[in-house]
Amino acid sequence: MPTHPSTSPPTGALPDTAALTQAASASAFEVLRTLDTGPHGLTEAEAARRQDTHGENTVDLEPATAPLAATWAALRSPFVALLSGLAVVFAAVGDVRGAVTVAVMVLASVALRRWQQVRSDRAVRAVGARLVTTVTVRRRADDDADPCPREVPLSDVVPGDVVLLGPGDVVPADLRLVTGADLFVDQAVLTGETLPVAKSATGACDGGPEDAAVLCLAGSEVVAGTATAVVVAVGGATYSGALARRAGRERPESSFDRGVRGVSRTLVRFMLVLVPIVFAVNGTVTGDWEQALLFATAVAVGLTPEMLPVVVTTALARGARRLARAHVIVTRLNAVQDLGAADVVCLDKTGTLTEERLVATHSLDPWGRPDDEAAAYAVLAVRSQIAPAGRLDEAVLDQLADPTDPLDDAVYSPEDEIGFDQVRRRASVVVRRQDGERLMITKGDPDEVLPRCSQARVEGDAVELDAGRRFAAHDLARAHADQGLRLLAVAAKRLPRLGAVDEADEQDLTLVGFVGFVDPVRESAPATVRGLAEHGVEVLLLTGDNRHVAARVAHQAGIPASEVVVGEDLDALDDVRLARLLERARVFARVTPAHKVRVVTALRGAGRVVGFVGDGVNDAPALRIADVGIAPDSATPAAKRAADLVLTDPDLAVLAAGVVEGRRTLGNTLKYVTITASSNFGNVLALVAAAVLLPFLPMLPLQLVVQNLLYDAAQLALPWDRVDPEYTARPRRWDTSELVRFMLTFGPLSSLFDLATFGVLWWGLDASGAPAQFRAGWFVEGLLTQLAIVLVLRTRGAPWRRLPRRPVVLAALAVAVTGLGLSFGPLAGALSMQNPPPVYLLWITVAVLGYAGLAQALKAVHLRRRGRWL
């Protein structure tokens, strides 16, 4: 399963690297011999036998969090720390009942969180397991059969297998390279280093296995180039399998992480201001500083939404389950809310906006006349590569290869290769004919290949490619692009019989012609772009292809393409000018992976929440640093591994549905945070007033904690609630200033009713001489009004029109009944309370209805003033 590696660098004892060191210092031939295999690979029978001995090749790159570590994570929450602090204070002042009650609550909250985490981890891993990664191995049916490249699941790879690597592949096991061309591997998963490293079949072997040029270690990713390699170790015996902890994906803080941090910090600030005030006022008024300390700690707890971690995890897990039903697999749980927060989505072209499969349609001579030679050269070139590099090569092989080809590989044998990468936008192979003649074939983007041609082939002869002819050739590519067709330029030249070849030799080529491809825009693309725009999400196109193709595809998909920016233009811009450009430009062509990263970084720097949808190896770095990385199921393993969400339905329309689901998840979480923080703030204000006005505490700390937890228990149903359609219509994120505004508006309203309750209890019920009754009165009024207010404020509309879902109402009712039972029933004494007279129910009814009515009125004012809700 392609999973995210954990984010910490590798620590702990290093694995036994003797076998790898030996494989690195021996020649490829010796390694093959030691492993009892050969360049043609194993027979199927031998592979099956070895699998019995070595077991499945299952290096889990992200093992399930160890139970202890997960429990520690649940314990580490600031809310648990607060409750534990309170338990300690209870114990210190000798209140054993209080200490035990709070300790039980801490355990319950940790257990609940832990249980939720286990459930959601399991769900994420279960869906992730559906993302099977395959590997190309060279195997033979039996000893006499010819070797044949075959896709096998990653788990079926065995020691001695010969593996074919190409861009985008995840290295399936620890490998010793046998042959290779310009192989670059991203080892961030093992070493944390961000730049790809060069690997080759012959190379240095200093330092550890990760430094050995001839070794590719399980879990790393091929960025460019191709290679064949023999498997040295599989599964737990690999370098990464034996590391205690693995390095990985240093991913920047996402919008969700930032939001949770910001809100927690705001609540802590409120606490830092209010708690000392309560402590000072209460201590001064009563002169009992021990009691004041207890009380101040209780206030801190009262202000905290203790169940936040549980509500967040529950909402996310529910969102992930619903997304799975919409064919979106979630591999990082928080990404659900990041998707809801995204206000810009970058799409790459091939395989995302366009169909998964390219169709090679025709072969042309340099002047655009039908002619098979370019196709024949392209097929020979791809066949001579160690492995096809991407969709274009696959289309050439699948659709153009003809067994009667005059240039077939029985006549030509591969000799060397200068691999494809997104910066060069071209690839070359060197082949040798049986008579010894050497030929270089270069294919690639016409913009890259044409400047390297000095001649062009016309009916078997070569003519000079003068300025006029060169212009005509460029024009041909442009005209095809305008009709939605892509051209791959194919050129060749004769080489001296001997001598090494490098990029400098890609000169003086003879243009053979072009191969044309149809890269049809998906039918669902325009609706997707429209759907996202209607939900307030801007769409950008970032492609490695040329500007004409980019403009055409953007136009067909409905992305404004009046300005097409090319990668080279981006290089010339500093960050400020890039930020300005990003305010208007939507289409970017000829971009490299580094450009994609730069655009995503700049957007994030401008405060945008960025989604990135890509499928190629060139997209992996941008997928990693976006707030939410999304890959289609057909993506390369490297892209899928970097992504947070995988779309199992090729129809992109799921994107808009996913965005709405993310917002629903976020909406229900923020309801809890905002409403709870406001009512808690109101309670604390009432407590401050009570500290001045009353001769006794209006509620004991333990009663405050129980009230808080009862309320929180009801809110555990919030993730199941409906969300206003207005809420899901535009991007949403955790917004600290909005939270503060909300607290300052609705908190005092709650305090107003608390003070009125104090009045009723003091004068109406004459509870002035019976603090235990007074406390029971406030306990139940506070709880019921808080429960009622959630039902009013959960929607921007009229609560009787926009009804909550049943679990929310049932949970509120159950808790209300429990609260009434506690204060009016026989258990009141257990909480040091005394039953108020039944007539007090009348005031509770007035308070609940009055508070709800006023809150509804204040909501209308807030809505009018702010133009938004929650």
Residue 615 or 627 having the CB closest to ligand ATP:
615
Coil/strand/helix, residue 563: coil
Q: Does 301 bind ligand ATP (CB under 6 A)?
A: no
Write down the catalytic residue from 169, 348, 365, 619. Answer: 348
CA distance 18 to 309: 45
For the residues of 800-857, what is the DSSP string, one character each? Answer: TTSPPPHHHHHHHHHHHHHHHHHHHSGGGGGGT--PPPTTHHHHHHHHHHHHHHHHHH
Structure tokens belonging to residue 682? 């109101």
339 closest CA partner among 113, 609, 649: 609
Q: Does 349 bind ligand ATP (CB under 6 A)?
A: yes
Which of 226, 238, 350, 669 lies at the binding interface for ligand ATP (CB under 6 A)?
Answer: 350
Residue 139 or 486 having the CB closest to ligand ATP:
486
Residue 178 or 488 having the CB closest to ligand ATP:
488
Give the nearest residue (CB) to ligand ATP: 544
Beta-bridge mates of residue 98: none
Q: Does 426 bind ligand ATP (CB under 6 A)?
A: yes
Which of 124, 296, 376, 427 lies at the binding interface for ligand ATP (CB under 6 A)?
Answer: 427
Structure tokens belonging to residue 457? 């082939």
Q: Which helix (H) or strand (E) holds 487?
A: strand 485-495
Which of 102, 488, 740, 791 lies at the binding interface for ligand ATP (CB under 6 A)?
Answer: 488
Site string for ligand ATP, 721-760 (x = CB under 6 A): ----------------------------------------
- Closest approach of ligand ATP to the CB of residue 424, in Å: 8
Q: Site size for ligand ATP, by CB under 6 A? A: 21
Residue 5 or 567 having the CB closest to ligand ATP:
567
- Closest approach of ligand ATP to the CB of residue 349, in Å: 3
CB 784 within 8 A of CB 774: no
Site for ligand ATP in 147-186 (CB under 6 A): none
Which of 3, 226, 240, 422 lies at the binding interface for ligand ATP (CB under 6 A)?
Answer: 422
The stretch among 47-55, 225-233, 417-425, 523-531 that binds ligand ATP (CB under 6 A) is 417-425
The stretch among 207-215, 274-282, 346-354, 558-566 that binds ligand ATP (CB under 6 A) is 346-354
Site for ligand ATP in 764-823 (CB under 6 A): none
Residue 15 or 446 having the CB closest to ligand ATP:
446
CB 807 within 8 A of CB 818: no
Coil/strand/helix, residue 512: strand
Which of 389, 525, 659, 740 lies at the binding interface for ligand ATP (CB under 6 A)?
Answer: 389
Tokens 């599964």, located at residue = 235
Which of 616, 731, 777, 819 lies at the binding interface for ligand ATP (CB under 6 A)?
Answer: 616
Residue 114 or 349 having the CB closest to ligand ATP:
349
Site for ligand ATP in 617-646 (CB under 6 A): 618
Coil/strand/helix, residue 228: strand
- Closest approach of ligand ATP to the CB of residue 183, in Å: 15
Residue 136 or 543 having the CB closest to ligand ATP:
543
Residue 444 or 621 having the CB closest to ligand ATP:
444
Q: Does 368 bind ligand ATP (CB under 6 A)?
A: no
Residue 28 or 599 having the CB closest to ligand ATP:
599
Give the dihedral of Cα atoms 856, 858, 862, 868; nearest 10 deg: -10
**What's the DSSP call for residue 7?**
S
Residue 373 or 445 having the CB closest to ligand ATP:
445
Residue 350 or 835 having the CB closest to ligand ATP:
350
CA distance 549 to 353: 12
Q: Does 444 bind ligand ATP (CB under 6 A)?
A: yes
- Closest approach of ligand ATP to the CB of residue 377, in Å: 12
For the residues of 34-65, what is the DSSP string, one character each? Answer: HTT--TT-EEHHHHHHHHHHH------SSPPP
Is 348 one of the catalytic residues? yes
- Closest approach of ligand ATP to the CB of residue 390, in Å: 5
Q: Does 390 bind ligand ATP (CB under 6 A)?
A: yes
Burial (CB < 10 A; 0-12, 13-18, 19+), residue 187, is buried
Radius of gyration of the chain (CA): 33
CB 639 within 8 A of CB 626: no
Cα 571 off chain centre by? 27
CA distance 210 to 216: 8
545 closest CA partner among 451, 618, 613: 618
Q: Does 348 bind ligand ATP (CB under 6 A)?
A: yes
Which of 445, 644, 735, 754 lies at the binding interface for ligand ATP (CB under 6 A)?
Answer: 445
> Percent helix, strand and coil across the chain, each rounded to 5?
50, 15, 30
Coil/strand/helix, residue 597: helix
- Closest approach of ligand ATP to the CB of residue 472, in Å: 19
| Alpha-carbon distances of 124 from 34, 195, 320, 336, 642, rounded to whole Å | 40, 29, 8, 12, 15
Residue 301 or 380 having the CB closest to ligand ATP:
380
The stretch among 105-113, 292-300, 386-394, 493-501 that binds ligand ATP (CB under 6 A) is 386-394
The stretch among 96-104, 149-157, 296-304, 420-428 that binds ligand ATP (CB under 6 A) is 420-428
Structure tokens belonging to residue 209? 């296995």
Q: Does 545 bind ligand ATP (CB under 6 A)?
A: yes
What angle do helix axes 96-128 and 308-325 make, rounded to 10 degrees? Answer: 20
CA distance 682 to 636: 53
Q: Does 226 bind ligand ATP (CB under 6 A)?
A: no
| CB contact set of 853 (below 8 Å; sequence gap of 6+) | none
The stretch among 441-449, 451-459, 502-510, 741-749 that binds ligand ATP (CB under 6 A) is 441-449
CB 787 within 8 A of CB 812: yes
Q: Does 425 bind ligand ATP (CB under 6 A)?
A: yes
Characterize 535-556 residue by residue with b for buried, 16 or more Cβ atoms within 10 angstroms of its Cβ, and e for exposed: bebbbbbbbbbbbbbbbbbbbb
| CB contact set of 850 (below 8 Å; sequence gap of 6+) | 753
Q: Does 543 bind ligand ATP (CB under 6 A)?
A: yes
Which of 95, 174, 393, 644 lies at the binding interface for ligand ATP (CB under 6 A)?
Answer: 393
Q: Does 364 bind ligand ATP (CB under 6 A)?
A: no
- Closest approach of ligand ATP to the CB of residue 550, in Å: 8
Q: Does 240 bind ligand ATP (CB under 6 A)?
A: no
Structure tokens belonging to residue 130? 């559906």
Q: Does 420 bind ligand ATP (CB under 6 A)?
A: yes
The stretch among 260-268, 421-429, 528-536, 755-763 that binds ligand ATP (CB under 6 A) is 421-429
CA distance 97 to 101: 6
Tokens 């060197």, located at residue = 430
**What's the DSSP call for residue 562?**
S
User: What residues are annotated to the active site?
Assistant: 348
Q: Can you give the binding site for ligand ATP, defined by CB under 6 A?
A: 348-350, 389-390, 392-393, 420, 422, 425-427, 443-445, 488, 543-545, 616, 618
